[in-house]
Amino acid sequence: MPMGSMPMDMAAMQDCIQSLNACSMAATMCAGADMTETDMAKCTAMCSNMADMADATMRMMMRPAGMDMEVMNAMLMACMTMGKACAAECRMHADMAEHCRYCAMACEDMVAKCEALMA
């Protein structure tokens, strides 16, 4: 379905794109910082995956002419699922690692913005 034939809340879409970008950056920074610490392999991998998913979802949203809503909904759902998992992992380290706290907050905000867009 072309974008022009479906209702789209452009403000919610912009909020979601900005939150996806912030999440990608925070997760990339967290993964980089985790690489210097011992016993953070899972967090490093999850943050790397989160950054990639957020970036891919954001890029798809920035090409509305080719948007297929079934595919976009699947991407948003996958991104939200990864965001919840990444936030949960980073929350376990948030007291000892500021980068994990920021990543968890960015993931949680991204999930909320994706949910708002889908509503």
The pLDDT confidence band at residue 25, using thresholds 50, 70 and 90, is very high
d(CA 95, CA 114): 27
> Is residue 5 over pLDDT 50?
no
Kindly report, residue by residue over 56-92, the tens digit of the pLDDT.
999 999 887 778 889 999 999 999 999 999 999 999 9
What are residue 52's phi and psi, to 5 degrees?
-65, -45
Q: How confident is the model at residue 8 (pLDDT cuts 50, 70, 90)?
A: low
DSSP 8-state code for residue 68: -
Q: Are 19 and 105 in contact (CB under 8 A)?
A: no
Residue 105 Cα distances to 9, 24, 87, 110, angstroms: 24, 12, 7, 9
What CA–CA distance (Å, rounded) separates 82 from 99?
18
